[in-house]
Amino acid sequence: MEEIATQTTEDQNQNVTRAAGIVSLAVMGSRLLGLAREIVIFNYFPTKLGASAFHLAFRIPNFLRDMFGEGILSKAFITTFITTEAEDGEEAAWNLANRIFNLTSVVLICIVFAGIAFAPTIVEVLAREDFDEILDSSKHFGFDTKVELTIYLTQLMFPYLLFVSLAAIAMGLLNSKGKFGISASASTFFNFSSLVIGISGYYLCQSLGMHPTTGMAVGVVVGGIAQFLIQVPSMYRVGFKYKPLLSLKDTRVREVLRLIGPAILGVAAVPINQLVNTWFITSGDEWLPWMQGAYRIMHLPLGIFGVAISTVALPQLAKYANIGETEQFRNALSYAIRLMLTVIVPASIGLMVLSTPICRLLYERGAYVESDTIATGGILFVYAFGLCGFSALKIVTDGFYAYKDIRAPVIVSLCGVALNIFLNYMFIFRELILDPRAVVFSTVLTVTINSGVLLLLLRRKVGRLGLKPIILLAFKIIIASVVMGIVCWLTNGVIEQDLLGTEGIIPRSVNVFVPIGFSVLALAAMYKLLKVAEFDDILNIFKRRFQNQ
C-alpha cells in the first residue's frame, strides 16, 4: 500500500512538472514579446517624456487588472467551478461560468466609464510635482504638460481592463478543465498586438496629427481584446456555451463574490504596493521608466517559472482540498515550492550578477542612454532579491484559496501594505534614501515577509508541509547557485576586459549569453553532484519531449 502511495505521489509530481513545463514555454513567448514592447517604448520615447507618461497611464488600469482580473477572478472562479462541478454537476458549473462572465462584464463596463471620467483626478493624485513638465504644444500635438498627455493615454487605455478581465475568466475555466497551454499563451497575443500596433501607430499617428504614444495606447486595448478572443474557441471545445444568465441570488455566484472581496486584499500586497510606490516613484521624472524596465526583466523568470508553477498547482490543490485529501494537498504544495526554488534561486543570482549588461543589451539605443542603463541595472539588482518572495507568495496564497480560506492572506497583506507605506515614507518622503532602489527594496522586503508568514500560517492550518525537505533542498540550491554566480561573475569580468571599448549588439550579446551559458553548465553540474531530484524531474520532461519528436 505504501509503495502504491509513493508511486501515486511521484506520478502527481511528474504531472505538475510536465504541465508547468507547458505553461512555462507558453508564458516565455508572452514575456519575451512584453520585453520587446518595453524595448520599443524606450527606443522611441525619452524616459523623461513619452515613456514616463505612458508607463504611468498604463499603470492605472493595469493596477485594477492585477486586483480584479488575472489573479482574483481566475483563482476565485477555479475553486468554486471545481466544487460546483463535483457537487452539482457539469451543467450547473457551466451556468455558473455564464453568470460570472455576464456579471463581470456589467461591473467592469461601469468601472471603465468611471475610470475614463475620473482619469484627470487619478493622474493628478499619483503624479507629484517633480513628475510634471511643461511641453511645447507645437511639438507635442497640442499637449501643454506631461500630465495632460498622461490623462489622455489613461482614458484611451481604460477599456483594456474589461477585456483582460474576461480573458482571466476564460483562463480560469480552461485551467479548471486541465487546459493550460492556450490560456498561458493568450497573453502572447496581447503583447504581439500591442507591439505591432504600437510601432505602426508611432509613425501613422504623427501623420494624422496625433501624439505618437497614441499608437502604444491603442495597441494595449487591441491586445486585451486579442487575449480574450484567442481563448474563446478552446472554451467552446471544453463544453462552454454562452447563455445570457445573470443572477446575484445564485448560491454559487455569491460564493465566488465572497471569495473575490477578501481575496482582493489577500493578494493586494504586490499591486497595492505598486500603486502606492507610483506616488513615491514620481519624485523623479525618470524613476518610473527605469523601474518599469527593471520590473519587465525580473518578470521574465517570474512569469516563466513562478507564475507557471502557481497556475498548474492551484487546480490540483483545490481538488485535494475539496475531497479532503490533506496528505495529497501537503505533498502537492511542498513539491510546487521545491520546484519553484530549484529554478528561481539561480535565476535570482544570475540577474544580480548580469543586471547592468542585460539592461545595456536590451534597452541602450535610441532615446535610452548610458545613464538610464546604469540606473535600471541598479534597480534590477534589488528586484532580483525578491524573485523567491514574489513566486512563493503566489503558491502559498493558492493553498489558502484551495480551502476557500482568505482571512489570513487578508490580514497579512494589509500589514504588508502598511509596512511598505511606512518604509517608503521614511526612505523617500523623509529623504533617508532618496533613490528609486529604496522603493523597490521596500516592496521586495514586504513581499518576502508576506510569503514567509503565510507559509507558517498555512502549516498551522493543514499540519506539516514537508518544510524540512524544503530547507535541506534550499541549502543545496543555495550552494549550487553561489557556485553558478561565481562562474557567471568571473566569466563576465573576463569578457568585459576583452571587449573593453567595443560597442554594438554582438559584443553586448556575448557579454550576456556567454556567462549565462557557462553558468547553466555549472549549475547543472552542481545539481547533479548534490543530487537535486527536482532538477532530474525537469530534465526528464525535456528528455521525453525530445524522444517523442
If you average pLDDT over residues 25-52, what whole number do you get?
A: 74
* Alpha-carbon span 177 to 319, nearest angstrom: 12
pLDDT at 3: 40
DSSP-based helix, strand, coil % in the chain, nearest 5: 85, 0, 15
For 95-143, the pLDDT digits (tens) are: 888 888 898 889 889 999 999 999 999 888 887 666 777 777 777 778 8
Give the largest Cα separation in the chain, rounded.
Answer: 79
The owner of cell 475610470 is 115
The CA distance from 179 to 201, in Å, is 35
Cell readout for 524 is 547543472
User: Which range of residues forms the domain containing residue 117?
Assistant: 48-246
d(CA 361, CA 178): 38
Which residue, chain included where needed, has cell 500635438? 141
pLDDT at 159: 93
Tell me, yes or no, whether 72 lies in a domain: yes
Spatial CB neighbours of 543, under 8 Å, sequence gap ≥ 6: none
pLDDT at 16 over 60: no
Task: Please check whether residue 104 lies inside any domain of the structure.
Answer: yes
Report pLDDT digits (tens) over 519-530: 999 999 999 999
Spatial separation of the C-alpha atoms in residues 28 and 33, rounded to whole Å: 9
- Answer whether residue 477 is part of any domain: no
pLDDT in tens, 212-229: 889 889 999 999 899 899
* Residue 402 grid cell: 484551495
β-sheet bridge partners, residue 370: none
pLDDT digit string, tens, across residues 427-485: 776 666 667 788 888 888 888 898 888 888 888 877 777 677 788 888 999 999 999 99
d(CA 499, CA 480): 28
Supply the DSSP string of 186-200, one letter for each residue.
HHHHHHHHHHHHHHH
CA-CA distance, 449 to 389, in Å (whole number)?
Answer: 8
Does residue 117 form part of some domain? Answer: yes
In a domain, 351, yes or no: no
Q: What pLDDT score does 526 carry?
A: 93
Relative orientation angle of helices 326-353 and 308-323, to the nearest 10 degrees: 170
For the residues 152-180, what does the mean pLDDT come to? 85
Burial class (CB within 10 angstroms; exposed 0-12, middle 13-18, buried 19+) of 14:
middle
Instruction: At 15, list the grid cell.
Output: 504531472
- Decide if 238 is inside a domain: yes
Domain tally, the chain: 1
Could you tell me the three cell numbers for 536?
Answer: 532530474
Q: What percent of the chain clears pLDDT 90, i.e. is strictly above it?
A: 16
For cell 549549475, name the residue.
Answer: 523
User: SS3 for 25?
Assistant: helix
Please, where are the H alpha helices in 241-386?
251-266, 269-281, 287-301, 308-323, 326-353, 355-363, 370-385
**CA 9/CA 14 separation, integer angstroms:** 9
Compute the CA torsion angle 370, 373, 374, 376 (nearest 10 deg).
150
Q: Give the pLDDT of residue 154.
A: 93
The average confidence (pLDDT) of the chain is 80
* 461 contacts 405 by C-beta, under 8 angstroms: yes
- End-to-end, the C-alpha distance of the chain in Å comes to 36
Check residue 486 and give its pLDDT: 95
Q: What pLDDT does residue 116 have?
A: 94
Residue 168 located in a structural domain: yes
**Would you call 524 exposed, middle or buried from its count of C-beta atoms within 10 A (0-12, 13-18, 19+)?**
middle
Give the separation between CA 427 and CA 435, rounded to whole angstroms: 8
Tell me the C-alpha distance between 177 and 239, whole Å. 10
- The rounded distance, in Å, linking the Cα atoms of 398 and 404 is 9
Q: What is the pLDDT of residues 64-96, one digit of tens each?
A: 777 665 555 666 677 787 888 888 888 888 888
Do the beta carbons of residue 351 and residue 384 sit within 8 Å?
Answer: yes
- Which of 23, 20, 41, 42 lies closest to 31 in space, CA to CA? 23
What is d(CA 185, CA 27) in angstroms, rounded to the nearest whole number?
6
Q: Which three cell numbers stand for residue 437?
A: 532602489
The residue ranking higher by pLDDT, 261 or 193, is: 193
Distance of alpha carbon 131 from alpha carbon 55, whole angstroms: 12
Phi, psi values for residue 134, rounded to 5°: -75, 130
Q: Between 169 and 449, name the one with better pLDDT.
A: 449
Which pLDDT band holds residue 5 (cuts at 50, 70, 90)? very low
Please choose, from the candidates 76, 69, 51, the residue with its C-alpha nearest in 3D space to the C-alpha of residue 107: 69
What tens digit of pLDDT does each residue of 387-413 get?
888 888 878 887 887 777 777 777 887
Nearest-angstrom CA–CA distance, 329 and 319: 9
- Helix, strand or coil, per DSSP, at residue 7: helix
Let me know: does 409 contact 265? Beta carbons within 8 Å: yes
pLDDT at 14: 59
Question: Would you say residue 387 lies in a domain?
Answer: no
Tell me the pLDDT tens digit for each residue of 251-294. Answer: 888 887 777 766 666 555 566 667 777 777 765 557 778 888 88
